[in-house]
Amino acid sequence: MTDSPTRTHWIGFDLGGTKMMAAVFDAGFRPLGRKRRKTKGNEGTKAGIDRIVETIHDACQESSIVPEQLAGIGVGVPGLVDLDHGIVVSCANLGWKQVDLQGELQKRFGCPVTVINDVDAGVYGEYRFGSAKGSRSVVGIFPGTGIGGGFIYEGNIIRGKNYSCFEIGHTQVNPQGNLCGCGRIGCLETEASRLAIASSAARAAYRGDAPNLLAAAGTDLNDIRSGALAEAIRAGDKSIEQIVRRAANMLGSAAGDIVNLLSPDTIVLGGGLVEALPTLMLEGVEEGVNQRAMAGYLKTCKITISKLGDDAGVRGAAAWCEHIQELKTSK
Amino acid sequence: MTDSPTRTHWIGFDLGGTKMMAAVFDAGFRPLGRKRRKTKGNEGTKAGIDRIVETIHDACQESSIVPEQLAGIGVGVPGLVDLDHGIVVSCANLGWKQVDLQGELQKRFGCPVTVINDVDAGVYGEYRFGSAKGSRSVVGIFPGTGIGGGFIYEGNIIRGKNYSCFEIGHTQVNPQGNLCGCGRIGCLETEASRLAIASSAARAAYRGDAPNLLAAAGTDLNDIRSGALAEAIRAGDKSIEQIVRRAANMLGSAAGDIVNLLSPDTIVLGGGLVEALPTLMLEGVEEGVNQRAMAGYLKTCKITISKLGDDAGVRGAAAWCEHIQELKTSK
């Protein structure tokens, strides 16, 4: 008879629309190994869960641990999650509806599982280990195809009754603006996301105002990614720099209103666009915040860039799972 | 030698710009008695503190208790408060700057004193005893001359590093709007406060579009109070009803964005304007929220009117003082 191993390690899992990643952390949340796979949402729920399970197994093997050493699994999902039950209520990228991800993974691995929103996981990661480490109050803003947000207050992710909240992408910034995916007009997301920027950039390229972008990426929104925007700016496309700065200013204005509401110690900016253009995005957001926020709150608010990049989500999800277990134990 | 009395009673104190009120509560926060006085901010700090002390003494007498029975004093102040030290940093209505109100009152009464923002006190009162009782997450919006807000999450008032926050009055709702007292353009406060409504109403009266308001209150903003607006609407001034409804819609739009951010269980509306026109204000705010907030969050958010009126602030301030003492004891 062999002793069962001590459960000391954690999985952080990032379930993205196109790719998934499992990362193994030791008891001090140092990364041991990781495994990436394509998500293949079109293969359905059952196959999707099998892929997640396989990816976790592979990450364990990569890290020279066995799944029986896992103390818990934290998952971040880009969709609507029933937080109390760990059910993925809907996830457009994956085509999932009402999937009991927590239950399924607990059954397969016999350890606690938490499922949260992917942006919350990223902001929590920055709070625990990154550029917002130890802040009493953190607002995270992650512009990408959409614009996600999260709010950590005194160590907890602020949430709604059933679901995650902080949908900063759907605050209205321009009543005369564009139609948003949510059906309303002029939401921050439809005015200042990477997709909004790409759309303006494509027009500039089409008009001949962004020759470098036109040469490198053309006018197809599918090809105008953060990296292409950054390269075009480096190559001298002033129009693209203006477009990005204007979007960052709008992000900053919305963030400034949030400073007036919540007076956070730290605002952390993350996501692909910010990683590709850190200085321009930071400056642009700061300009916007400075214009909108009240002086007293500005003094105590630091605006910063994500330190952990892709790792923020997996480390945050894993650490949140630990936090929830600690809360349960202390009750 | 006599036994010193048990300290079981609480004072809630509302330090307004024109009047102050002390209320005595028993251990179960039932009101025993109260005393009102004019504030007379122009008499200076020393005289002001003396007036506060006298008012508390009188309220005790009125309630047949002695000050030695006080377990604590909670004060709500319409200004900037250093929350950790109970110092009134600035209070425009009173002309106070850097007044150690907590220290002074502790010296005079020998019991714990907490000083918080008056709107936070009101929202906390509604959370503990009023129309938001027991809600996990409450946003309070109190439109008056300005527009104040507060956010209670899992039993705590959400605050900034040093000061209270939730300055909902200074979120931007109209980039083409009016100049706000804060120096920026189109803040909610400058578009939808009682003062903003009075300003539009005065114009309607001047133009002859609000004959009842004109007859009762004229065109002086000083005389167009909430009661006068309510009477004019009852007497048939459709223009005034439209003006109030439009302001309530704007409040609702701003509140809708906050629903997307914080997904509160309850939004409580309070203050003089809401008390004078509860149905119109509630309907108008609901219309605005319904247009802006995301469907999933709308379902779990109840919008309601303050139940405690003037009492919300004093009961809330007193109960918050108790809450802080309990937190200290449990540490």
- Taking only the tens place, the pLDDT of each residue in B18-67 is 899 999 999 999 999 999 999 888 888 999 999 999 999 999 999 999 99
**pLDDT > 90: percent of chain B:** 89
**B-contacting residues of A 61-100, CB under 8 Å?**
80
Judge contact between B252 and B284, C-beta under 8 A: yes
Ramachandran assignment for B208, one of left (phi > 0), alpha (psi -120 to 50 degrees), beta (any other): left
The pTM of this model reads 0.95
> Contact B171/A257, CB-based, under 8 Å?
yes
Provide the terminal-to-terminal Cα distance of chain B, rounded to the nearest Å: 34
Beta pairing partners, B269: B141, B305
Segment A159-176, tens digit of pLDDT? 999 999 999 999 999 889
Q: Which residues contact B173 (CB under 8 A, 6 or more apart)?
A: B186, B187, B188, B191, B192, B250, B253, B254
**pLDDT > 70: percent of chain B:** 99
User: What is chain A's mean pLDDT, rounded?
Assistant: 95
Least confident residue range of B72-86, B91-105, B151-165: B91-105
Distance from CA of A167 to the nearest CA of B (A): 5
Biggest alpha carbon–alpha carbon distance for chain A:
74
pLDDT in the model for residue A177 = 93
Residue B331: pLDDT band (50, 70, 90) is confident
Q: Which helix (H) or strand (E) holds A272?
A: helix A272-276
**pLDDT > 70: percent of chain A:** 99
Tell me if chain B has a CB within 8 Å of the CB of A261.
yes
Segment A78-128, tens digit of pLDDT? 988 999 999 999 887 788 999 999 999 999 999 999 999 999 999 999 999
Residue A331: pLDDT band (50, 70, 90) is confident
Tell me if chain A has a CB within 8 Å of the CB of B290.
no
Q: If you measure CA to CA, which chain B residue comes closest to A168?
A: B261
Among B175, B291, B297, whose Cβ lies nearest the Cβ of A160? Answer: B297
CA nearest to B75, candidates B95, B59, B63 = B59
State the best of A117, A162, A165 to mutate against chain B, taking most chain B CBs within 10 Å.
A165
Tell me if chain A has a CB within 8 Å of the CB of B117.
no
| pLDDT over 70 at B1, yes or no | no
Least confident residue range of A92-101, A116-125, A321-330, B212-221: A92-101
pLDDT in the model for residue A43 = 87
DSSP, res B68: G
pLDDT in the model for residue B257 = 96
> Contact B261/A258, CB-based, under 8 Å?
yes
Segment B239-268, tens digit of pLDDT? 999 999 999 999 999 999 999 999 999 999
Phi, psi of A17, deg, nearest 5: -70, -35
> Contact B260/A170, CB-based, under 8 Å?
yes
Ramachandran assignment for A40, one of left (phi > 0), alpha (psi -120 to 50 degrees), beta (any other): left
Question: Residues A89, A160, A127, A322: is their CA dihedral positive or negative?
Answer: negative
Among A136, A161, A165, whose Cβ lies nearest the Cβ of B261? Answer: A165
Write b or e for each residue in A149-187: b if 16 or more Cβ atoms lie within 10 A of its Cβ, otherwise e.
bbbbbeeebbbbbbbbbbbbbbbbbbeebeebebebbbb
Q: What average pLDDT score do residues B283-310 get?
A: 96
> Contact B159/A300, CB-based, under 8 Å?
no
- Spell out which residues of chain A touch residue B261, defining contact as CB-CB under 8 Å: 149, 151, 165-168, 171, 258, 261
pLDDT in the model for residue B2 = 57
Residue B138, helix vs strand vs coil: strand
Least confident residue range of A51-55, A175-179, B242-246: A175-179
| pLDDT over 60 at A218, yes or no | yes
Tell me if chain B has a CB within 8 Å of the CB of A185.
no
pLDDT in the model for residue B54 = 97
Residue A280: pLDDT band (50, 70, 90) is very high
pLDDT in the model for residue A330 = 86
> Contact B261/A151, CB-based, under 8 Å?
yes
Tell me if chain A has a CB within 8 Å of the CB of B291.
yes
> Contact A260/B291, CB-based, under 8 Å?
no
Q: What average pLDDT score do residues B67-85 get?
A: 96
Tell me if chain B has a CB within 8 Å of the CB of A167.
yes
Tell me if chain B has a CB within 8 Å of the CB of A163.
yes
Residue B322: pLDDT band (50, 70, 90) is very high
Q: What average pLDDT score do residues B182-186 get?
A: 91
| pLDDT over 60 at A1, yes or no | no
Q: What average pLDDT score do residues A239-266 get?
A: 97
